[in-house]
A and B are shown apart, each in its own frame.
Chain A
Amino acid sequence: MCGIAGIIHRDGPGDIGSEMTRMLQSMKHRGPDSSGFALYGPADDELLVMRIKLADPNEVRDYGWADRLERHRNEIEARLAKLGAVIDAVRGDQEYSFRVRFRYTGELKPLADYVEDVPGCEVLSLGHSLEIVKDLSDAQSVADRYGLGGFTGTHAIGHVRMATESDVDISGAHPYWAYPFSDIAVVHNGQLTNYHMWRRRLERIGHRFQSECDSEIIAVYLAQKMDDGLSLETAMKQSLDELDGVFTYLVVTSDALGMAKDEMAAKPLVLYDSPELVALASEEVAIRAVIGHEIDTCDPYERQVLVWNR
């Protein structure tokens, strides 16, 4: 089933951490396996933020588990320094994941590849303002664990997952970062039936996929098109014909939030659109969780693509 949600403030930043938590928690019944957030904080052109997973929380923890993760984290910091990144701040929310902010102006792919070369490591997000936080259990627990309340920013997407296509672990949790393109992320509700074809195509261009989850390709697919010169909206419109299956997905870039629905309109989405704020979710209860007053909402139709800028 899965539940997706998106919010974009068009009149300046808000507490998107708490808002997205409330939206996702009100849809907990749509997917209790894992919860994920893609949050856009204030951007700094010189600083990059990387969220990294060192191991999966549900893997068997042997005697040397904690020490090994500590070594891997030090190894990652050393590798970043070796590539010329100047580390500005490091924060570990969990022993198996951490956030590092650094100054770096080079290519992102060699950097991310070098970091992921450390055993068990996965780069969850990399960008000037994008931060992806995802973990097992419901949205409120994840937000508490990672201290997301009070996270100020302009836009965010989130996902509660009921695993159908791949394992219950962080690698299978949404949102997906469009590795290695900075500041692009996707959440998806549905199943893609031409996943393997697109995965092979994108792998031939040199992209890497960390999970077996079909949703992972949407982010890279869109980012690759935008890198080829298409606008976000055009790339999304092409996806309606090139991706098979049922899908409603939300995509975020550094300054925009977009939605697309497949030609069967098989997966739900409710839209609240106002000049100050746009909120979308699989169920209206999620929108009501952040807007107190009475509102008008609608269901976008099949093959509809909409993009809002912050």
Chain B
Amino acid sequence: MKISYDARGLAEPDAQAPEVAKIEGEGSERRAVFDAAELSTRQINSELRRLIYAEEISEVTVLNPGAKHSIAVGILARCRIIIEGSLGYFGCGLIDGPEIRITGRVGWSAAENMMSGVVVIDKNAGSLAGAALRGGDLVVRGDVGARTGIDQKGGTIIVGGNAGMMTGFMLQRGRQIICGDVGGGLGDSMYDGAIYVGGKVASLGVDCVEAELTADDHEFLSRKLKIYGMERDASFRKFVCGQKLWNYDNLEPAERKLVL
């Protein structure tokens, strides 16, 4: 059996939307569903765009994604996408607005660079989940790999299970809620933001310190976990930046010019 599928999606720059989706309902209630088993990455994404942008359908279901890479990336509209199965690398990256539910697992760099929206993954995620996240909620009900939310700049990452090493590496802003255990080097070189951990912490990274939970933190944890129907563990701990590495110039470049 020859495999002609190219996981990068580069093999077919002229791919057209296959127009295979079944559309049901009327007006704003219209829903679409299509089977991705025999489609390439380009065709799946073109079909999604056609349905969401041209047809203006608010709910699309994708069947049999088969762990292909780069599915549902760059969707810039309010809509609901349900993916029945697993995704490969870079799933749901660069999105702004959609609510996406994935019933399976995702590979590395899920929802990287999300601007706003919600991505819910029912099973596990690979490393670098929510890399450079800017906004919105990324929820993983299972376990995640290493370096979750590396360089995160906003939004919230919620993990129902355990997280690997260097979780919150270089976190700049935003929050992470890890209900299970975390690996070594938690919050290494984080600049700002907060990481809440429900389970055991293997070790803290450079310049990451424990902080006291405030009433606002408790309200935030309860509210966020309730939205996604997750158990609230009473024993959450909070980790923030120790500010020992904050050796920045206190003046902005423009201000420094004035001083000189």
- Which residues of A lie under 8 Å from residue B68 when comparing CB positions? 285
Residue of A nearest to B1 (CB): A22
- Which residues of B lie under 8 Å from residue A283 when comparing CB positions? 7, 67, 69, 88-89, 107
Q: Does A253 sit at the interface, judged by CB under 8 A?
A: no
Q: Are B124 and A265 in contact (CB under 8 A)?
A: no
| Number of residue pairs spanning A and B whose beta carbons lie under 8 angstroms apart | 81
Interface stretch of the complex, out of A34-42, A94-102, A172-180, A293-301: A293-301
Residue of B2, B67, B124, B184 most packed against chain A (CB within 10 A): B67
Q: Does B97 sit at the interface, judged by CB under 8 A?
A: no
A26 to B66 alpha-carbon distance, docked (Å)? 12
Interface size class, chain A: 20 to 34
A284 to B107 alpha-carbon distance, docked (Å)? 7
Residue of A nearest to B104 (CB): A294
Q: Does B96 sit at the interface, judged by CB under 8 A?
A: no
Answer whether A265 and B3 are a contact pair too, CB < 8 Å, given A284-B107, A285-B66, A294-B104: no
Q: Are A265 and B164 in contact (CB under 8 A)?
A: yes
A114 to B143 alpha-carbon distance, docked (Å)? 52
Residue of A nearest to B142 (CB): A298
Q: Does B199 sit at the interface, judged by CB under 8 A?
A: no
Residue of A140, A285, A294, A295 most packed against chain B (CB within 10 A): A285
Considering the complex, which residues of chain B in the window 1-27 have a beta carbon less than 8 Å from any beta carbon of chain A? 1-3, 5-8
Considering the complex, which residues of chain A in the window 254-310 have a beta carbon less than 8 Å from any beta carbon of chain B? 263-265, 268, 270, 283-285, 287-289, 294-299, 301-302
Residue of B nearest to A283 (CB): B88
Answer whether A301 and B126 are a contact pair too, CB < 8 Å, given A22-B3, A29-B8, A283-B67: no
Q: Are B86 and A284 in contact (CB under 8 A)?
A: yes
Q: Does A215 sit at the interface, judged by CB under 8 A?
A: no
Q: Does B85 sit at the interface, judged by CB under 8 A?
A: yes
Q: How far is the CB of B130 from chain A (nearest CB, A)?
A: 15
How many chain B residues have a CB neighbour from A under 8 Å? 32
- Which residues of A lie under 8 Å from residue B6 when comparing CB positions? 28-29
Answer whether A302 and B105 are a contact pair too, CB < 8 Å, given A140-B2, A264-B165, A268-B127: no
- Which residues of A lie under 8 Å from residue B80 when comparing CB positions? none
Q: Does A25 sit at the interface, judged by CB under 8 A?
A: yes
Q: Does B196 sit at the interface, judged by CB under 8 A?
A: no
Q: Are B2 and A299 in contact (CB under 8 A)?
A: no
Q: Does B145 sit at the interface, judged by CB under 8 A?
A: yes
A258 to B110 alpha-carbon distance, docked (Å)? 27
- Which residues of A lie under 8 Å from residue B107 when comparing CB positions? 268, 270, 283-284
Q: Are B88 and A299 in contact (CB under 8 A)?
A: no
A265 to B184 alpha-carbon distance, docked (Å)? 11
Q: Does B123 sit at the interface, judged by CB under 8 A?
A: yes
Where the two chains meet, the residues of B that have a C-beta atom closer than 8 Å to any C-beta of A are 1-3, 5-8, 66-69, 85-86, 88-89, 104-105, 107-108, 123-124, 126-127, 142-143, 145-147, 164-165, 183-184
Q: Please name 16 pairs of A and B residues whose Cβ atoms are closer than 8 Å in the assembled complex, sorted by A.
A: A26-B3, A29-B6, A29-B8, A268-B107, A270-B107, A283-B7, A284-B67, A284-B107, A288-B66, A295-B86, A296-B105, A299-B126, A299-B127, A299-B164, A301-B164, A302-B146
New contact pairs (16) apart from A28-B6, A295-B86, A302-B146, CB-CB < 8 Å = A26-B3, A27-B7, A140-B2, A264-B165, A284-B86, A284-B105, A287-B67, A288-B66, A296-B104, A296-B105, A296-B124, A297-B124, A299-B126, A301-B145, A301-B165, A301-B183
